[in-house]
Amino acid sequence: MAQLKLPLTVLGIETSCDETAAAIVRLCPDKVEVLSDRIASQTEAHALYGGVVPEIAARAHVERLDGLIRLAMSDARVVWDDLEGVAATAGPGLIGGVMVGLSTAKAIALGRNLPLLAVNHLEGHALSPRLSGDVPFPYLLLLVSGGHCQFIAVEALGRYHRLGSTIDDAVGEAFDKTAKLLGLAAPGGPNVERAAKEGDPHVVDLPRPLLDRPGLDMSFSGLKTAVRRAAGERMLTDRRRADICASFQSAVADILAAKSARAMALFASRQKGSPRFVVAGGVAANGMLRMRLEAESRRAGFAFSAPPLRWCTDNAAMIALAGAEHLRAGNFAPLDVAARARWPLDPEAEPAYGGGKKGAKA
């Protein structure tokens, strides 16, 4: 299909979990402009329940989304006629929330006669480093979020090959469960990171699962069990809590750094040109992890990119950008496109790398 001319200005909507977000992004020939970027977090609404409650999340999206879209448009000083498309997360995620965002985008598309872009939330994360500058394709991506932990070869828009992934818990989930076990409030990741700053990572001995095995698959559920054991061993003082957090964070960083080094070796052996390693998703906001991955990239001769913290966790700017890139390529969605609770980024699981369905060997 013929490419559309730039610039393209797109409204993005994100409602797949517990952030309601709307943003306006303009894709220009030589840069990306984020004209506005609004996020309303629901952390307080879920605090009582120790985790995200899907029904509460969906209701909060319904209550807030229209107002946020209006704010995003006025921040950006755009009116409906300035838009070339409307993009929304169409999955994966909590289905009630996804339906709220996608239905709103459909209504706007129908009412204003605009193309609809149905964006895979994981693709939003995968493209998020491109919001802030020059991150050309191809690159190796480590996607670390609340529901995913995967190495992906990002070859071009729409060409994603999974090289390896967690075989059990996502790494963000491990942060969240660790926080819960230690009595820390949500959101788990940032609170574990804060507590870890006061702790000693050498006091509590935690495992590094699957590090002794070849390949890029990872596992975090054993780590969570070890945290539970350590938490129950003796009185949970602030000191002890901080030591467990520091040890947990350091175990996660060791696992991800070692697997990233292997992933870079595999990627470099199959990709020509100067290689780049990118980390994205909520856990990419973790300062220690960013530092370790940057050092690992330097050692492997890879350029390193990570989005600014605001665009690591869920946001609508990344959805608007993914939408704008698909709009340029002419990949519009029909108005009856369905919301999807599950939607893998690479349904085939790395055919180009010769691995089976279970992940490539490195």
Given the rule CB under 6 A, which residues bind ligand KG4?
Answer: 17, 145-147, 172, 175-176, 187-190, 193, 281-283, 285-286, 313-314
Tell me if 19 contacts Zn ion by CB under 5 A. no
Minimum CB separation from Zn ion for residue 242, in Å?
A: 27
Smallest gap from residue 314 Cβ to Zn ion (A): 4
Q: How far apart are the first and last CA of the chain?
A: 36
Q: Does 165 bind Zn ion (CB under 5 A)?
A: no
Residue 89 site contact among ligand KG4, Zn ion, none (CB < 5 to 8 Å, cut-off depends on kind) = none
Could you say which residues in the range 301-320 bind Zn ion, by CB under 5 A? 314
Of these partners, ligand KG4, Zn ion, none, which one is at the site of residue 176 (CB under 5 to 8 Å by kind)?
Answer: ligand KG4
Q: Residues 9, 104, 145, 247: which binds Zn ion (CB under 5 A)?
A: 145
- DSSP annotation of 121: H
**Which residues, in sequence order, are CB contacts of 86 under 8 Å at separation 6+?**
10, 11, 13, 105, 108, 109, 112, 114, 115, 116, 117, 323
* Least Cβ distance, residue 46 to ligand KG4 (angstroms): 12
List the one residue out of 123, 131, 141 whose CA is nearest residue 279.
141
> E strand or H helix at 55, and its extent?
helix 54-76
Backbone angles phi, psi at 151, to 5 degrees: -100, 130
Instruction: Pick between residue 198 and residue 233 the one whose CB is nearest to ligand KG4.
Output: 198
**Rounded to the nearest whole angstrom, what is the least distance from the CB of residue 308 to ligand KG4 in the complex?**
13
The CA distance from 101 to 117, in Å, is 12
Nearer to Zn ion, 7 or 344 (CB): 344
When CB distances are held under 5 to 8 angstroms depending on the partner's kind, the choice from Zn ion, ligand KG4, none that residue 123 binds is: none
Question: Cβ closer to ligand KG4: 256 or 360?
Answer: 256
Contact (Cβ atoms closer than 8 angstroms) between residue 102 and residue 90: yes
Q: How far apart are CA 244 and CA 196, in angstroms?
A: 8
- Specify the residue, 123 or 314, whose C-beta has the smaller distance to Zn ion: 314
Are 92 and 343 a contacting pair, CB within 8 Å? yes
Tell me how far, at minimum, the Cβ of 313 lies from Zn ion, in Å.
7
CB of 173 to ligand KG4, least distance (A): 6
| 247 vs 204: CA distance, rounded Å | 6
Q: Which of residues 180 and 208 has its CB atom nearest to ligand KG4 in the complex?
A: 180
DSSP string, 221-240: HHHHHHHHHHHHHS---HHH
Which residues form the interface with Zn ion (CB under 5 A)? 145, 314
